[in-house]
Amino acid sequence: MKILITGGAGFIGSAVIRHIIENTEDVAINVDKLTYAGNLESLTSVANNSRYIFEKADICDAEAMKRIFEEYQPDVIMHLAAESHVDRSIDGPAAFIETNIIGTYNLLEVTRAYWNALSGDKKNGFRFHHISTDEVYGDLEDTFDLFTENTSYEPSSPYSASKASSDHLVRAWLRTYGLPTIVTNCSNNYGPYHFPEKLIPLMILNALDGKALPVYGDGMQIRDWLFVEDHARALYKVAIEGEVGETYNIGGHNEKANIDVVKTICSLLEELVPNKPQNVNQYLDLITYVTDRPGHDVRYAIDASKIERELGWKPKETFESGLRKTVEWYLANKQWWSRVLDGSYTRERLGISNEEIS
C-alpha cells in the first residue's frame, strides 16, 4: 500500500514512518512543511529505503497537494500535520488556526476530489485517517472518570480548540460527502525524538545541564502517558483495519501527575548519570514551581478499551519501562538533540550557512 503521512517529520509522524518502513512492506510518503518541529534527522534510519519518499510541502498549498496526490496515488492518508504546543498556541494562536483548521479543510478537499476520481477496489479501500488529541475533551473533574469516544468536546486552549475544529470538519466530510474517514484521539505521547520544548525531554536536558526544572502550579496536573512507538503501532492498525466512521481513543493506561513524572526522571538520572553538573547536589533540587499556564486542564485520562476490544491493540510499554527507554535514548543521542537546541538542524532546513548567522 501507499500511505501518505502529513507531518511525517514531526515527533509522532516520524515514529509512524519508522514503524511502516521497519515492520511492513508499504510505501511511506512523507509530506511535511518542515516548520520548527519538523526534523528529517528523526528519519535518518529509513531515509535511504526505497519505500520512503519525502515531499516538502504545506497542506495549505492546494496545488502542491494535488500534484502529490496525482503523482503518488496514495491508498491511505494519515493526517498528522499540526501545530501542537499549548504554550505556543496561547502566545500566537493564528498559526494554529491556519494549519490545524484551514490546512485540514484544504487537505480534505484535495482528498475528496482525488477519491471521487477513483474506482473499484482502489476507491473502496481508500481511507482518510485523522490523528487528533484527548485535549479536545477538556479536563476531567472526577477522579474516576475517563474520556471515551462519546465524551463531549470542551477544548480549553487555542490548540485544543483548533484540533476540535479539525475533528468536526473530518466527520462532516464523511457525513456530507461520504469521504471514508476515521478519527483517533490520543493521550500525551513521549519517547525518542521528542522536541525538547515538551515536558519530558525538557526535564531530561535541563537536568543534565544543571538548569531549573520548571513545573507549572503545584504540578498535580494528571496526564495519561503513551509511549510513541506504541502509538505508532496503534495508528497503523487503525489506518489499515479500523472501521470507516469510527473514532478510537488511544491511551497508555499510565495516569501520572506532572510532578511525579519529573521526580521519576530525576530518579532515573541519579542512577544513569551520577556525575552531575557542579552546581547540583541531587537532581530533585532543580525542581522549580512556576506560575500556572492560563486555562490549564487538570486531568486527562483515556478509556482505550474500544481499540483493544475491536482491533486487538494495547500498549506494550508501562510508563516505567517507556520512560527508562526515553531517558536512555536522550543520553545516547546527544547529537540529535544538541543540533535541535543550537539551531543547526533549522539552519540546514532553511538553507542558511553558519557564516550567514554569524
The number of folded domains in the chain is 1
List, for residues 309-345, the tens digit of each pLDDT value: 999 999 999 999 999 999 999 999 999 999 998 877 6
Q: Kindly state whether residue 184 falls inside one of the protein's structural domains.
A: yes
Residue 83 annotated to the active site:
no
The mean per-residue pLDDT over the stretch 109-133 comes to 98
In a domain, 333, yes or no: no
Q: Which three cell numbers stand for residue 317?
A: 510499554
pLDDT at 27: 98
Name the least confident of 59-63, 137-141, 198-202, 270-274: 137-141
Whether residue 267 is contained in a domain is answered as no
Give the CATH number of the domain where residue 172 resides: 3.40.50.720
Cell 525524538 sits on residue? 193
Per-residue pLDDT tens digits for 131-153: 999 999 998 876 678 999 999 99
Which residues make beta-bridge pairs with 227? 190
Is 135 in the active site?
Answer: yes
C-alpha span between 132 and 17 (Å, rounded) = 17
Query: What distance in Å separates the CA atoms of residue 321 and residue 142, rounded to the nearest whole number?
Result: 28
Residue 353 has pLDDT above 50, yes or no: no
Q: Confidence class of residue 346 from pLDDT cuts 50, 70 and 90? A: low
Residues 223-268: tens digit of each pLDDT: 999 999 999 999 999 999 999 999 999 999 899 999 999 999 999 9
Residue-level pLDDT at 314: 95
| Predicted pLDDT of residue 142 | 65
Instruction: Look at residue 270 and tell me if it is in a domain.
Output: no
Domain that holds residue 157: 2-190+227-252+296-317
Candidates 135, 224, 230, 255; catalytic one: 135
Global pTM reads 0.93
Neighbour-count burial of 83, counting CB atoms closer than 10 A to its CB (0-12 exposed, 13-18 middle, 19+ buried): buried
d(CA 313, CA 355): 50
Domain presence at residue 204:
no
Q: Of 41, 134, 229, 303, which one is the catalytic site residue?
A: 134
| Side chain identity, residue 116 | N
Between helix 258-272 and helix 199-208 the angle, nearest 10°, is: 40
Res. 354 pLDDT band, cuts 50 70 90: very low
Measure the CA–CA gap between 87 and 111, rounded to whole angstroms.
31
Selected catalytic residue, list 105, 159, 248, 300: 159
pLDDT of residue 298: 84
Taking the CA atoms of residue 148, residue 149, residue 150 and residue 152 in that order, the dihedral angle to the nearest 10 degrees is 80
Between CA 208 and CA 202 the distance in angstroms is 10
Residue 174 included in any domain: yes
